[in-house]
Every structure is written in structure tokens, then in C-alpha cells.
Amino acid sequence: MSATKLQARFLPGERWWGGAVHDGARMPLTASSDYAIDLRQEQRGNQSMPLFLSTKGRYLWCDQGFSIRFAAGVLRAESSGAPLELKATGGGLRGAYLAAMKAHFPFDPTPPEALFYTRPQYNTWVELLYQQNQEGVLAYARSVLANGLAPGVLMIDDTWQEDYGLWRFHPGRFPNPKAMCRELHDLGFSVMVWLVPYLSADSPSFRKAQALPGALLRRADGEPVLLSWWNGYSAALDLRQASARALLDEQLHALQEEVGVDGFKFDGGGLDAYAQAGDLGGATPSELNQAWFQYAASYRFHEAKDSWKAGGRAINQRLRDKDHAWEGEGLACILPDAFNASLTGHPYLCPDMVGGGEWTCFLPGGRLDEELLVRCAQASALFPMLQFSVAPWRVLSGPALQAVLEAGRLHERLGGEIYRLVCQTAKTGEPLLTPLCYYYPQPPYAQVLDEFLLGRDLLVCPVLQKGCREREVVFPPGLWQGADGTRYPGAQRLRLAAPLETLLYFRRIPG
């Protein structure tokens, strides 16, 4: 079935995933759900794809964004011209995913850079906030090693730069960035810095871009577009244009070649910011967003967050910033959002910073929840990527600190295996991290949303509720072995102890 308007009834027992990754907590959609989104301009602050998939082996795809509503057991979709395709593939959720992937977002066969997966990552945001500085960065890196964690990718966040669009180290806060990068490399870290596709409108970079044909995003009347984003109002580069890419390349290559920076955290550029601007001179938010993340992917060391239609690309993706909370926008979102990311073609996944990016909780007198920080670290430990920002040794002590550090060490121990799965995904397009229903569509597995499979052979069962020291584990068919060597026959439910220091995970035993 193909049209610019489409209506279809739910099949008996059908459940749908897809669209915007950060709506994962609303998924799967059932016949009793009431859900709507306009994927032409809404992204919910994270990855999005023009794709929905069902547990009955159907998928809905459009080459462009479209609006859709699921209500009263009916889905109604409308596009602005590109045909909507509703395909029945058979094979349940996995069959729908594989058919959609092969037809619409086949995978780049070159996997992302290994270091993102084999070691924990570190981001200076929570510790330094809007006061990024050379001594603070070095102190943070040294403390990582002093507390027994392995060096990995280290990201220096916003305010390392002179201004938005002026991408060179601020000379007051970073008196010798080349020496800093050299020391970080000697310690074993790779260095990344944060940036956005925006320019302060009273900066030298803006004036330079204004003189280059096509470099700035302009309204229909030729005046530069001013975008509203979380740090104010800025002009924007039009990364569809070679002049804009060359202007940015000039600065980023200088950081790499003259200072020793390895790569970049590509933030901003989401559909929402472009859509709010209204007049984009004939461009669409999706075109501008795609251009930004296609540019990001040209750098081997990169991180992205708000990408549109980037399924199948070898891009390191991060989930939206999470609150330091158990429910709502906090820990409760991590698995549902990860499932929705994986099922829409974004397997190379980081679950946000351990404990969330709500920095006020980590200040003296803040509402830090030590148990939450531990359970966030454990829930994230066996994601494809793991990222720290708050320094756990600053805010924790005793058993809680040791539990968080052990989560980082667990990721490192399994890093080689995780990266082998990454390479396998690049070849096959199969997701890395899935809900049980992806491989086991029958009850009771279809209803389990608080466990996940990493590949097919690691079952991960984090504790996601405050105060819990045990949890029910639903074992898929087969024989599973816990970290302590205990073996459990599959196809059963068991309530197992999960003290604060324990992440329950199990490996499938062949045979």
C-alpha cells in the first residue's frame, strides 16, 4: 500500500515502535494508545527516522518526514508529497526491521572507531560546566586514572572555545592547548571538543561567513536566519553548501593538525531549532539536519545526538540528556529510548552520561541520589558505549563508589567483545541492543521491557527501581550462566538477589 495519505487498522495484538527515539517510553504503541507526531519538524531532542515497525511484521516508511497519529486502533499518516509505504513482511518485529533496513537504510559496512566501544568515555561537562579550563580538564583526566579506570575518549564541552563559530581554544582558560593535548595523549586519552553549527552574529566568524556565497543559512529575503537554541540566538552555517563545509573544515583541521585534537562532539542542528525559525529560504529542517550529521560523519572521532534519517550510518549516537531521577526523564527512559533507537537503525549507542546531565544535583548541597548513580552506571555498563561526566570519586565514597567504578571496569573487560558485535552489526545491519521481543516474539518475552539483549548471547537485567535489592529475571530459551558461574535453564522466571553492588547479567551457554 502506497499513498501520500494512509490509514490502517491495528492487527489483533499488534504493537508498534519507531519515529522519534525519545518517545521510547511511549512505545510500543497498542490499539489503546493515543499518540501523534509530525516528523517533518519534531524530533523530541534526539534521533528520528521516517519509520514505524510492528510486532506483526509490518513497517511504515516514507522518504521524507510525515505526520502520523495512532488512536482508537487506527494509524493515520500524511506526507507532503513523498509516498507512504506500508509493507507486510512476515517474521514479526525482526522481520519488519530487516526488510525495512535492507530496502531503505542499508548499513555502512565500515564500523565506527573502536575506542568509543572498548573503553569508557569521559565528558567534562558536569565537573566544569561553563567554566571549561586547561587545569580542570587535566585534573579530571588524572583523577580518572588515579581511581583505576582506563583512559579513553575525553570530550571537552562547551566554553572551551572563544565564541560560537570561533572554534579555537580560549586563550585565557586554555593558555597552552597543544601542551594539554600532548599530556592527555601521553596519559592514553583521545581528545574531542564540543561544537554546534551556529555562529554568534557579532563575531569575526560570522563576518567571514557572511562574505562567502552560500555559507550562511539565509531567509528568502537574503538576510541571515537567527535561530533560537538553548544558549540564546545565533546565525547558522548552511552545511549543504561547500563554502560552509570548507569554512568549518579550516578551523577543525587546524585544531587537529596544530593543537592535537582528535575529533569533535557535534551538538545542536536538530529539526526543532530549524523549524522554529520559520523562514529558511526554501530549505527544510530535515535537509539542514541531514547535512550537519553527514558532515559530522566525515570525521572519524565524532559524537552525534539529534540526527534525522541517519539509520544505518556509522555514527556514534548519544541518547538525549537525562534527568538525575528514577522516573520520567531519568533512568526509566534509558532502556525504552535505547530500544527505539536500535529498532530505527541507530545501534551505535551511548545512553547519556552516567547519572544524567542535570548538573545542579552534583553541586554541594544538591539532591544527589547515590543509589541512583550506582544503578545508572550499572544499567549503562553493557550498552555499546558508556560515558562518565560527574566524577563519581567526588560525590561518592565506600561501596557506592566501588560499584560505579566496577561498572566502568566491566565495560572495559567486555570492550573487545562489544566491538566485535559492532563490527558484526556493520556487516549485517542487525541491532546491537534489543528488547527480548526482537528475537523472542512470543509471550511472555514480548512484554519484557526492563531487560535487554546485547547481541544474542548477553542478557542484561539492571535494577531500575529505587530501594530494590532483588528483581525478577525472565530467561529466554537456552542455558544461561551468571557472572558468579551459576547456570540457569531458560524459558523460566526467577526472582534473584541484586544487592547494590550487583548488575545481573547472563551469558548464553552454547549447546
| DSSP output for 236-272 | EB-TTSHHHHHHHHHHHHHIIIII---EEEE----HH
Strand residue runs (E) in 104-218: 121-123, 153-156, 161-163, 166-169, 190-195, 198-199
Using omega within 30 degrees of 0 as the cis cutoff, is the peptide bond preceding 476 cis?
A: no
Question: Which pTM value belongs to this model?
Answer: 0.97
Q: Which residue has the cell 540526527?
A: 307
Confidence (pLDDT) at 158: 97
Confidence of residue 367 (pLDDT cuts 50, 70, 90): confident
Confidence (pLDDT) at 1: 58
Confidence (pLDDT) at 301: 98
DSSP bridge partners of 163: 166
Confidence (pLDDT) at 154: 98
Three-state secondary structure call for residue 377 = helix
DSSP bridge partners of 150: none
CA pair distance 242, 86, nearest whole angstrom: 36
In tens, the pLDDT along 182-233 reads 999 999 999 999 999 999 999 999 999 999 999 999 999 999 999 999 999 9
Confidence of residue 2 (pLDDT cuts 50, 70, 90): low
Confidence (pLDDT) at 466: 98
Contacts of 118 (CB under 8 A, 6+ apart): 152, 412, 415, 416, 418, 419
Contacts of 257 (CB under 8 A, 6+ apart): none
Contacts of 69 (CB under 8 A, 6+ apart): 34, 35, 36, 75, 76, 77
If you count them, how many residues does the chain have?
Answer: 511
Confidence (pLDDT) at 438: 97
Q: Does position 358 have pLDDT exceeding 80, yes or no? A: no
Confidence of residue 419 (pLDDT cuts 50, 70, 90): very high
| Mean of pLDDT values over 495-502 | 98
Amino acid at 353: M
Confidence (pLDDT) at 360: 77
CA pair distance 125, 7, nearest whole angstrom: 45
Amino acid at 107: F
Please, are residues 279 and 219 in contact by the beta-carbon 8 Å criterion? yes
Three-state secondary structure call for residue 480 = strand
CA pair distance 313, 320, nearest whole angstrom: 18
In tens, the pLDDT along 378-391 reads 999 999 999 999 99
- For the chain, domains (ranges, CATH) are 2-104 (no CATH), 115-195+252-274+282-421 (3.20.20.80), 425-509 (2.60.40.1180)
Q: Does position 303 have pLDDT exceeding 80, yes or no? A: yes
| Mean of pLDDT values over 118-137 | 97
